[in-house]
Every structure is written in C-alpha cells, then in structure tokens.
Amino acid sequence: MDLAQAKEMASQRSQPLKFLVLYGSLRERSYSKLMAFEYARLLEHMGADVRVFDPSGLPMKDEVSVTNPKVVELRLLSEWSDGQVWVSPEQHGTITGVMKTQIDWIPLATGSVRPTQGRTLAVSQVNGGSQSFNTVNTLRILGRWMRMFTIPNQASLPKAWTAFTPGGRMLPSSNRERVVDVAEELVRVTCLLDPHSEMLSDRFSERKERAEHGRLRTQAETEALKKAAEEGMGAGTKEDQKLPVA
C-alpha cells in the first residue's frame, strides 16, 4: 500500500504514536472487533503503538465499580493514548450498549487530568444490512462531548458478514479502501495536532478554575458545588418570603 507519507510523518516523532481502539460487541464473531483489528494492523504498519481493548467483563457504569480491573485498564489506556478509534455495530439505529458503556467509563475529568481532551478520534460502524450513518453520527457527538478532535473521514460497512474472510481479514473492496483512508488520515492528523494538543485544548474557564482552586475539579465536585449553591439560593428565597412587608 502506498502509505509512505503517513509512515514518514510518524517516523519523524521521537516516540511512536499511541492509539487505543474500542469496539462495541461481545459476539464470538464480532464484525466490529474484526474491523477494530483491521485498523490496528494498519496503524501498526504505519509505525504506531496500538492497544485494542477487550470489553468483556466491563461492568455497567455505576458508582461502586471504579476499582474494577477492566475499568482501571480502560481508563489507563485512554490516558495513555494520543488518539483513538471507535468501531460500533449499529443496533436499533444507534450504537450498542457495549460501546456506550466503554465511553461512559472514560471520565471527562479526574482531578486535573482530562483523559480524552485534545486527542484525535476516528469513528466507524458495521451494519448487518444496508449502509447507514446513524452510528458514526452518534459517535461524533460523543467524541465532541469528550473534547476530542474527530477526523473528517469515517467508514460505514454494509453487510458486514460478507466483508471478511473466515480468518477475520477484510476482503479487498472499496469499503476496505475506505478503512485504509481513515487509518491514514488519523495518523496524519494526529502527527499534525499532537505536538500542539496542549495549546489547542487550553481553555480560559479551566485556567480560571486552576487559579481559583489550584487544580481542575472533578465532575462530581462541580456537581456537588452546583447543588449546594442551588440549595443555598432556595433557602434564601424562603427566608426572604418570611420578611414582613414594610
């Protein structure tokens, strides 16, 4: 494959690019998993260090499982990565619960760390039937919410059950070429943005928060302060109502 430019860009870095790949199915023959590993092979071919997270055993998002080994693994990988690839099946017109659970477990903030802010993201989906773009559109919304730079290109694979060999490799086709396009663009964009990610994701509101509190607050802390302020305002309003009219 003619991927010389992307390989050259990646080779000029002092450290290899680091990519985390997530997929959204627990089926024994999962086509989102097969596509995820297709991306992993392409990214490794261009010189990247790649980790594919296995969502088996990851609990539903709750308030007590933060020390679960799978949760800890996922969060560490997200923080480790320079960019990510999300591949989900389309189920009932949207992403699967397996996919959403993984994203839900990656916090927007842990103390002063934003585990996804400034990282690049590529999104893809697999379809059991005709081609659709509902899932990649949903993944883009989630990527924006996670403060990631989602690349313009994407892949949507129709009739996924026809697109792979028995051994799990993608058959040559225009759809496979699109996957190559997405992987190549992800490497190029990450090479361009990563050296400037800290500057590009620098926010006035966060500088102000650090100045006032010494660090960025967690989402839980922000919500608790907001609730306390609202309760204080409500109590003040009730006291005001008891004042006699002059």
Domain 4-200: give its CATH architecture.
3-Layer(aba) Sandwich (3.40)
The per-residue pLDDT for range 119-140, each reduced to its tens digit, is 999 999 999 998 999 999 999 9
Rounded CA separation 150/121 (Å): 5
Read off the DSSP letter of residue 64.
S
Rounded CA separation 124/119 (Å): 17
The per-residue pLDDT for range 188-224, each reduced to its tens digit, is 999 999 888 788 877 888 888 878 877 777 666 777 8
Which stretches of 107-227 are assigned E, i.e. beta strand? 120-126, 149-150, 155-157
Is residue 3 helix, strand or coil? coil
Q: Which of 31, 227, 210 is nearest to 111 (CA)?
A: 210
pLDDT value of position 222: 72
Q: Which of 92, 88, 79, 93 is nearest to 20 (CA)?
A: 79
131 and 156 Cβ atoms separated by less than 8 Å: yes
Averaged pLDDT, 36-56: 97
* Domain layout of the chain by residue ranges: 4-200, 207-242
Token output for 108: 């927007």
What residues contact residue 169 under an 8 Å CB cut-off, 6+ apart?
Answer: 34, 38
118 and 74 Cβ atoms separated by less than 8 Å: no
